[in-house]
Structure 1
Amino acid sequence: MVKIKDIAAKLGVSISTVSKGLHGASDISEEMRQQVLDTAVMLGYVVKEKKSQDYHKVCIMVENMDYENINQFGYELITGFKLMAQEQQYQVDVIPMDVYTQMQQSYDTYMKQQSYSGAFFLGFEMSDAYMQQLKHTTIPTVLFDNYISNKHVAYIGTDNHIGTKSLVNYLQENGHKKIALLNGSKNSYVSNLRYEGFLAAMKDVGLEIDENLIGYGIGFLPETASSYIPQFIENGATAIVCASDLIAAGAINEIHKLDLRVPEDISITGFDDLPIAKYLAPPLTTIRQERFTLGKTAFTLLSQLISAVPVSTMLFHSELVIRESVSKVK
């Protein structure tokens, strides 16, 4: 059985450093944390020994989400899920998914042919074929930032309403009245939640909603910003709420191209608190999602579904992380 000291020996670091990496401590570098997590998964690290149980094989289906390194949103979700699965002696396969594959074979047929006991969905949009088929599936399935009404399907995520409200409140407290929303894809369930949260928050603080200050992108990528930043500035926006840190990074880049400054000329906020957020220029005010813990909890929900426990929804509290990308209105 692999122990923490084996991971430490493999990396040539102390046991305390490995422990910090496995438990999300903030006083080690992101690079070291990624090495610890990668090595733990590679060696088959198990948190604690469990009694033998029935064999299960599960999968993580990923669409529209990067996960190769710790700066990408899906990395810690998948790593947390895998570590919990290994503790329970489950096999986990990560399966990149696309629209074409979903059209070739139904979800239930694919899962049964591959002998999977359940699945964790990352990055899917509501219009995807597999998402529609989940309405009637009996396969235990956990969705990240998506919801389907089916006793065999659970939803896990961060409270998007509270997170978006925290951003709007913080901007309003700093004197901003013309606040724009740069959202993700219109077909994304979480985009709709953040839009609804934005509308409710603006109403709560008595600010007018300008349809010229609402924009949608393709996914949650930086390229979303190029189509909307000039429009937002022309319509008087003093702050932009971005639906992801990557969109916020794109927005900051586009603002710099216009010879404007963040936050002196326009304030920017993100969502996710990816490792890159604190290294942007300026460091980004954002909403933290505990991705590693979300991944571990996703596996717990899936194992409960596999055991015929009809769990439904689990939302994590959001946390506002204040950095230097927001300033008071002059």
Structure 2
Amino acid sequence: MVTLKEIAEKCSVSITTVSNILNGKSNVSEKTKERVLKIIKETGYHPNYMARGLRAAKTNSVGIIIDDLTEFSSPGIIDGIMSYFDEHKYKAILENLRFYSKWGTKWYHNKGYEESVQQAIDEFESIKVDGIIYVAGHARCISCIPDNLNVPLVISYAFTEKKGISSVEFDDMKAAYDLTKHLIENGHKKIAVIAGTKNNIHTGRRLEGFKKAMKENALPVKDSDIKYAAWDTPSGYENAKLLLEDSDYTAVFCFNDLMAAGVYDYLYEKKLVPGKDISVAGYDNRTMSRYLKPALTTVEIPLYDIGRKSAELILKQINNEDDSEQQQSFVQCGIIERESVGKI
């Protein structure tokens, strides 16, 4: 591996000069700068951030623990984190725990879950990262963070009750409230709900938002208006059949887009048109939502913004710029209005 010293010798300049050029701090001539950068490119030299950080007691690197990179929310959050780090010249080291891939949707009941998280934290601390971001696959209270952390840690897309650990989530309840209001403002008073699984934080928060909007508009909500489902397209179809057969509902609010796609399947089977005969709304703004016919009205979760806010918080803690010990930040969602909600 080519060293900084060898680059300096090849260019007949000091090691400090090469280092300053790499860090954009050099006041040397443009000709010298071009010569040094040319040699760097030709030799394939890459700065050893870890070794440099160990000498300076700071590595300018952050470890990112991810429940599962295949979860739809993870790539957007990671992109937001990386964009913020790029702007602040920080490096990220990713540890993808692959929980969903290995253990399915009930992975957090697996006895190996906490051990995997602890091992990832230990590995990051052993290589002297400046901080850690834990990117959760779904909202929940994360209790497996050890008390004896040696670096700051921020939780993204979930939260914790551990003292001193900040978190960044989206305002799930407010988004469901806003989407329900959108349905009501379009004349819908009889609204069915296909919720997620029971005892799920997303389900609870979205139901709270739905019920709040209905109550504010003096619209009753019965237990029979709500069906709990498995967050997938087949369960959306099955529960649409239970709710909509011989009913007077004019709209269905699905707590994710996959279940909304199942409602579409049921409606088309009955020769009914979403947005015309019965309005349908989803949640998540997955890529497929814009390609459904008609395109689906849904909630857009600000994944990129969640990532950037998480990166901002961890760098503030690393640089001792945080005024408070702990922050629980909420990023607001947006409503994407498309053709699946009609006015009556």
TM over 0.5: yes
Shift in alpha-carbon separation, 1:145–1:89, aligned structure 2, 3 A: closer
Cα deviation, residue 324, structure 1? 0.6
Is structure 2 residue 105 aligned with structure 1 residue 93? no
- Aligned counterparts of 2:196 and 2:317: Cα–Cα separation in 1: 30
Residue 82 (structure 2) aligns with: 82
Deviation at 1:204, TM superposition (A): 0.8
Which residue of structure 1 aligns with residue 340 of structure 2?
A: 325
Instruction: Give, in angstroms, the shift of residue 209 of structure 1.
Output: 0.7
Match of 1:236 among 224, 229, 248: 248
Q: 1:62 & 1:307 partners in 2: Cα distance?
A: 26
The 5 Å alignment of 1:98-247 reads 98=99, 99=107, 100=110, 102-103=112-113, 105=115, 107-115=117-125, 117-124=131-138, 126=140, 131-134=142-145, 136=147, 138=149, 140-218=152-230, 220-234=231-245, 235-247=247-259
Secondary structure at 1:268 match in 2: strand
Letter in 2 for 1:326: V
Match of 2:278 among 266, 281, 284: 266
- Partners of 1:257 and 1:135 in 2: how far apart? 52
Kept in 2, the 8 Å contact 1:268–1:326? The answer is yes
Distance change (3 Å), C-alpha of 1:180 and 1:286: same
Structure 2: stretches of 5+ with no match in the other structure: 1-45, 47-52, 100-106
Give the letter for the 2:118 counterpart: D
Q: Output the CA distance in 1 between the equivalents of 2:123 and 2:201.
A: 29
What secondary structure, in the 3-state scheme, does the structure 2 residue paired with 1:83 have? helix
Q: Report deviation, 1:270.
A: 1.6
Superposed CA deviations along residues 36-67 of structure 1, whole A, max 9, x for unmatched, are xxxxxxxx9xxxxxx9982134123124x735
2:64 to 47, 56, 59: 59
Contact 2:143–2:162 at 8 Å: present in 1 too? no
Structure 1: gaps spanning 5 or more residues: 1-43, 45-50
Identity of counterpart residues, as a percentage? 23
Q: Say whether the 8 Å CA contact 2:194–2:228 is kept in structure 1.
A: yes
The one-letter code sitting in structure 2 at the alignment partner of 1:258 is: K
Q: CA contact under 8 A between 1:155 and 1:314: conserved in structure 2?
A: yes
Q: CA RMSD in A?
A: 2.9
Partners of 2:164 and 2:215 lie apart in 1 by 36
Which TM-score applies when normalising by structure 1? 0.71
- Shift of the 91–147 alpha-carbon distance from structure 1 to 2, 3 Å rule, reads closer
Displacement of 1:305: 4.0
Deviation at 1:258, TM superposition (A): 3.1
Q: Write the distance in 1 (CA, Å) between the matches of 2:316 and 2:248.
A: 50
1:125 CA displacement = 5.7
CA contact under 8 A between 2:155 and 2:167: conserved in structure 1? yes
Determine which of 244, 254, 265 is the counterpart of 1:253.
Answer: 265
TM-score, length of structure 2 as denominator length? 0.69
